[in-house]
Structure 1
Amino acid sequence: MHKINIGLTEQQRHGVMNLLNQDLADAYVLLVKTKKYHWDVVGPQFRTLHKLWEEHYQELTINIDKIAERIRTLGCYPIGTMAGFLSLATLKEHSGKIPTATRMVTQLVEDHEQIIRNLRNHIDQCGEEFHDQGSADFLTGLMEKHEEMAWMLRSFMEGEALESDGQKQAGGTKVPVGV
């Protein structure tokens, strides 16, 4: 076998692989949850959420493939079993009763936010501990995609009336959104 010589030690590459495998596991659990909610959602927002979650699980599928390919780029192998995913994931499976549409959205927001927090930590570790700026950059792009999906889901739950300039009314006074 050809020795990999990309400026990272074997220990650094394996350290990054461990982080990426956790990210892969979380992405897979989130994919399964998103697919399940896509199938099970009911209520007045069915069509909107059904379509949104279809977009999300398609994006998650692409991301999963990219994470696995990044692991292979480093000369390592991604996990690929449900048992492996569940043992490494920080997200929990959803089992039991089917939640309401609003609870589904809330759970997915919480999962995306957990992944975002994990990715921030992994970005720092890749750059500072393992000196792999390529993987840090890769994870930054992945984090931005999760931030966008979380924003879309949070926006679905927010129902405040806003002015066209991004201000909301608070006791007759305009207040910048997010304040």
Structure 2
Amino acid sequence: MNTINIGLSKTEIQEVVKLLNQNLADFYLLQIKTKKYHWDVVGPQFLTLHEIWQGQYEIISDNIDNCAERIRALGEYPIGTAQLFLENTTLKEHPSDLPDSTEMVQRLVIDHEHIIRNLRKHIDLCSQKFHDEGTADFLTGIMEQHEEMAWMLRSFIGGKNIEQRIREDRELITES
């Protein structure tokens, strides 16, 4: 491939691609987990969660493709094997268990929030350290999508969390 001349050094591009490949691995594992829960959810929330997760894994699938294409636009090649995804992901698998629907939702919220935190760091690095505002902007859009997906899932189980937070707030006020 011809040398790319877009105002970034080879080192800057390589560092950005490392971040993008980590994101790609995280997105891939999250898609697998979301799809698995989409298939396996049971109970009164089946239809609602089944539909929510279908919409979410479609968004995640688009992000996987877009992330790989961003890497290609930078003149590099994305990782693309299960082994490399597992080696590069920062998410945790939960093999050999089948949680109830509430635990499924909670696990996915944790994963989305983990990805959001990573994306914030990667956005800062891309913009401030590697001077790649294009990738920073690209990642910002993906981060916003994960913020919305996490919000939707938190809202699904929010009643329990809200009641607990109200109790904790009251305890803090009483102690003050």
Corresponding letter in the other structure for 1:153: L
C-alpha separation in 1, matches of 2:156 and 2:98: 19
Corresponding letter in the other structure for 1:71: I
Matched, 1:77 2:80: no
Greater strand share, 1 or 2? 1
- Which residue number in structure 2 is paired with residue 155 of structure 1? 155
The answer for unaligned runs of 5 or more in structure 1 is 163-168, 171-179
In the TM superposition, 1:12-91 aligns within 5 A as 12-91=12-91
Greater helix share, 1 or 2? 2
In the TM superposition, 1:100-115 aligns within 5 A as 100-115=100-115
Q: Secondary structure at the match of 1:159?
A: helix
1:32, CA displacement in angstroms?
Answer: 0.2
Q: Once the two structures are aligned, what percentage of the paired residues are identical?
A: 61
1:3, CA displacement in angstroms?
Answer: 1.3
Q: CA RMSD in A?
A: 1.5
Corresponding letter in the other structure for 1:24: L
Matched, 1:122 2:122: yes
Matched, 1:140 2:140: yes
Q: Secondary structure at the match of 1:36?
A: helix
C-alpha separation in 1, matches of 2:83 and 2:158: 36
C-alpha separation in 2, matches of 1:121 and 1:97: 31
Runs of 4 or more, structure 1, over 4 Å off, are none
- Which residue number in structure 1 is paired with residue 173 of structure 2? none
1:41, CA displacement in angstroms?
Answer: 0.2
The normalised TM-score by structure 2 is 0.90
Q: Secondary structure at the match of 2:96?
A: coil
Corresponding letter in the other structure for 1:19: L
Corresponding letter in the other structure for 1:143: M
What is the number of equivalent residue pairs in this alignment? 163
C-alpha separation in 1, matches of 2:102 and 2:94: 15
The normalised TM-score by structure 1 is 0.88
C-alpha separation in 2, matches of 1:96 and 1:114: 22
1:159, CA displacement in angstroms?
Answer: 2.1
